[in-house]
Chain A
C-alpha cells in the first residue's frame, strides 16, 4: 500500500468513527439541532419585531452561518477533550497516523456535518419567516463556507491542544476565543458600529469575511467573482492557519509526552 493510500485510509477512520459517534449519540444530535434552531429563531425574531425585513435577513444569515463556523471550530477544538473523556486519547495518539491525516478526516466530517446542519436550519427559518430567497446565490454561500472552514479548522487545531496543557481548565479557553470572534466579526450587526480599534481586529477575523461574502451572495445574489476582496483574505488565512494549527498541535503533543499529560488513569 502506498503511503498516500495508507494515510487516506487513516483519514477515513476519523470520518467513519465520527459518523458512528453521531449515530450513537443521536439523542444529543437532535437536542443540538433543536437548540440551534431555537437560538436562530430567537435572534431573528428581533428583526420581525422591528418590522424590518432587511434586519431580519441580516440576522437570519448571521445566526445560521455563525452557527456553522462555530460548529466546525468546536468539532476540531474539542477532539482532544472528547477523546480524553472517552479514554481513547492514548490509543489514538499511538496509532501510526500523521496529524495532518487525522485533521483531514476530522475536518472533512466537521464540514459535511456542518453543511447538513446548516441546510436544515436554513430550511426551517426559510419556512418560518417565508423568506424571499429567489435572488440568492447559494453557490457563493457554499464557497464562503468552505473557504472559512479552513481558517476555523486551523484555529480549532490550535485550540484543541489547550486541554493537553491545562488538563482541567483548557476547554474553557475555546469559549473565550469564540465569544471574542462573535463580538468582532459582524455577526449580528455591521462592523462599522464597532470602535475603531475593534474594527482593526475585525479585519483579522475570518468570520468577518465569511459573513460579508455570504450576505452578499444570499441577499444581493452576487457571484464569487466580484467578492474577491473577501475571498483572498480568507484564502490567505486558511493557508496560514492550518499549518500553524498543526504546528502548535505538534508542539503541544511533544510537551504532553514529555510531561505525562496524555494519560488519564493507570
Chain B
C-alpha cells in the first residue's frame, strides 16, 4: 500500500537534488513499487452531434509511468491527448479499463487521487476579475493549505517564472496569456502535486516565456520528485524535457520510448532522419497541415 501522510507543508522544495528533504512537501509518498501512474486498457467514447455518432477518443491505452519521470504525450490535434489527461484528472469517467495513481484506484479512491494530482490546462482557467493572489489563495484553500504559506510560495514560484509580486494584486484579465499561463503553472505547483498533468503548458507562450517554463520544469525534475505527464505540439520541447514519449494517434498509443530510442527506431526501421519530427510523421502518418483540416472538422461538435 502506498501511504500518504500529511505533513506541515512548505510547498515546493528548495532542496538540491539527491538530498532527502523532510519538510519538502505536504505529502510524503512512501514508495513501495507502485508506479506514479498506471493506465491499463483504458477506453473512452463520446457521442457527438445530433446523430450521437460515437467517437472513440481513447482506445485501449495502457501506460506505466514510474515516479520522477517526465512523460511526454505527442499526437495530432484531436488524437486524444486532452481526453487522456482529463481521464486521469477525474474530470471524465472511464468507459473501461483501470487507472491508478500511486496505487490508488481512480474510481474507488477518487478523493485520495485528487489530493495527489493537479492539472495545467491549455486555457488558463481563472476567475479573470480576481487577482493572481486571490485565485491562488482559492486554490490553496481548496487543497487544504495554509493561505499565508501558499502566498509566500506563490511569490517564490512566480518570481522564478519572471513575474514580480507587484502584479499579483491586479485582476488577472490585465495579464497577457503567457503570464496567465505562468500563474496557472504556479497554481498547480503550489499544491505540491506528486503527479502533475500538463496539457500543452507552453502553447501560446513567446520564446522567452516558453524557455522560462521549460527551464522550470527541468528544475522541478531535478529538485522535486514530482512525476509529470506533459502533452505538447513542440517537438523540441518534448525532446528536451521528456524521459519517455508516447505517440498517440486516433486514441491509440502507436509508439513509446525514450526520445533517443524512438529516433533510432525510425532511422533503422523506416530509413528516416533520426529526429522527433520524423518520429511524429512516421507514427501519426500525416503532416502538420493535415492536422489543421482535422481541427476544422472537430470544431462542429
Residues of chain A having any CB pair with chain B under 8 Å: 1, 6, 9-10, 12-13, 16-17, 20-21, 24-25, 86-98, 254, 257-260, 262-263, 265-266
B149 within 8 A of A: no
Q: Report the Cα distance A239→B122, complex, angstroms.
A: 41
**Digit string of B66-93 for contact with A (CB within 8 Å is 1, else 0)?**
0000000000000000110010011111
Q: Report the Cα distance A10→B122, complex, angstroms.
A: 25
Contacts of A13 in B (CB 8 A): 138, 141-142
Contacts of B137 in A (CB 8 A): 16
Which of A12, A265, A266 contacts B141, CB < 8 Å? A12
Is B125 within 8 A of A96, CB to CB? Answer: no
CB distance from B298 to the nearest CB of A (A): 11
Q: List 19 A-B contacts (CB under 8 A).
A: A6-B144, A13-B141, A17-B138, A20-B127, A20-B130, A20-B138, A86-B125, A86-B126, A90-B89, A90-B119, A94-B89, A94-B114, A94-B119, A95-B139, A96-B114, A97-B142, A98-B111, A266-B82, A266-B199
Q: Report the Cα distance A9→B20, complex, angstroms.
A: 30
Q: Of all chain A residues, which has the CB nearest B55?
A: A260
B270 within 8 A of A: no
B143 within 8 A of A: yes
Q: Which of A90, A96, A97, A258 has the most CB of B within 10 A?
A: A96
Is B141 within 8 A of A10, CB to CB? Answer: yes
A10-B144, A17-B134 known; A87+B111 contact, CB < 8 A? no
Is B47 within 8 A of A93, CB to CB? Answer: no
Contacts of A258 in B (CB 8 A): 92-93
Which of A1, A25, A90, A91 contacts B144, CB < 8 Å? A1
Which of B121, B139, B141 contacts A90, CB < 8 Å? B121
Size of interface on B: residues with Cβ below 8 Å to A: 36
CB distance from B83 to the nearest CB of A (A): 8
Which of A20, A87, A93, A97 contacts B91, CB < 8 Å? A93
Q: Report the Cα distance A262→B86, complex, angstroms.
A: 10
Is A96 within 8 A of B46, CB to CB? Answer: no
Is A95 within 8 A of B143, CB to CB? Answer: yes
**Digit string of B115-141 for contact with A (CB within 8 Å is 1, else 0)?**
101010111011111100010011101
Is A21 within 8 A of B130, CB to CB? Answer: yes
B32 within 8 A of A: no
Is A96 within 8 A of B143, CB to CB? Answer: yes
Q: Report the Cα distance A25→B130, complex, angstroms.
A: 9
Q: Report the Cα distance A258→B82, complex, angstroms.
A: 15
Is B141 within 8 A of A1, CB to CB? Answer: no
Is B126 within 8 A of A88, CB to CB? Answer: yes
B6 within 8 A of A: yes
Q: Of all chain A residues, which has the CB nearest B86?
A: A263
CB distance from B134 to the nearest CB of A (A): 5
Given A16-B137, A24-B134, 10 extra CB contacts under 8 A: A1-B144, A12-B141, A13-B141, A13-B142, A16-B141, A93-B91, A95-B139, A257-B90, A263-B91, A266-B199
Is A10 within 8 A of B199, CB to CB? Answer: no
CB distance from B161 to the nearest CB of A (A): 19
CB distance from B91 to the nearest CB of A (A): 5
Q: Which of B138, B139, B199 has the most CB of A within 10 A?
A: B138
Is A24 within 8 A of B171, CB to CB? Answer: yes
Q: Which 3 A-B pairs have the closest CB atoms?
A: A13-B141, A96-B114, A266-B122
